[in-house]
Amino acid sequence: MKEKICLNNGMSMPLIGFGLYRIEDQDTMDEAVRCAYDCGYRLFDTAQMYGNEALLGQALKNCGIPREDIFVTTKIDTRNMTPAALRESFQLSLQRLQSDHADLLLIHWPGQSKNRLRDCWKAMSELCAEGKTRAIGLCNAVPHHLQWLEDMDILPAVNQIEINLHNVQENLSRLCAQKTIQVQAWAPLGRGDFSNALVQQLAAKYDCTPAQIILRWHLQRGIAVIPKSSHPERIRANIAIGKFSLSEEEIRQMNAQDAYKDTSHNPYTYDYEKAGD
């Protein structure tokens, strides 16, 4: 299994990253980042909305991790979805991260305004041209969002979407692949419910954890993942997936577990302006 994937702009991105959602204090961030780095994680995923960019920046400094050794993703908050606010807020993100660039900058929620999304995408493209970010992409983008951007000078390199056994996203993943957009799964383990009988059966068969079965399922489908945990044993297990491979039939059976259920906003209809977010 490849450790990195080549994005559509030619840069490489680790297939397995470390999610930082809900890590809210410096000691926990330091411990999690140190453990993750020592285990082999090189992609760290944060966001303006998480409120922990500064914690990550300081943790990298506290742990003595060279910036050139890692891949940092952050995301533009819905409150900053105008070109001017996007640029200003991203500069503040870089200050909090103690870095002169991001490796990947994403729009967290595209919303339902075509003009607003295109205007912000132009601002993101300018930041990319200026070297402030090495790649740009989207979170929670569905077909109409991708269509709105298909004539832009720079296409999304990544679409980070919810994918897990409750929300398999076969059609959207296939569309992204056709457009050479790398899919990256947030909440790849769902909400930590490993009671699924098929997953339990496969974990016993391959002598691994249920989480490792689910992560292997993602990777064999060509989907990058950003599992999150602050527990050292889970951090280690989530990257030490092992060398086993699921059969095509087992992949098909896992795909069939789909409940078509979003655990957050419905990206097809969610408009943060109307929601007041």
SS3 content of the chain, % helix, strand, coil (to 5): 45, 15, 40
**Contact (Cβ atoms closer than 8 angstroms) between residue 43 and residue 12:** no
- Of 21, 37, 41, 50, the active-site residue reads 50
Both tokens of 153, joined, read 């000078």
Helix (H, G, I), strand (E, B) or coil at 272: helix
Check if 21 is active-site: no
DSSP assignment of 137-194, as one string? Answer: EEES--HHHHHHTTTSSS--SEEEEE-BTTB--HHHHHHHHHTTPEEEEESTTTTS--
Residue 95: C-alpha distances to residues 82, 154, 178, 204, 271 (Å): 20, 25, 36, 46, 29
Both tokens of 61, joined, read 């400094």
Helix count (H) and strand count (E) of the chain? 11, 10
Active centre residues (catalytic): 50
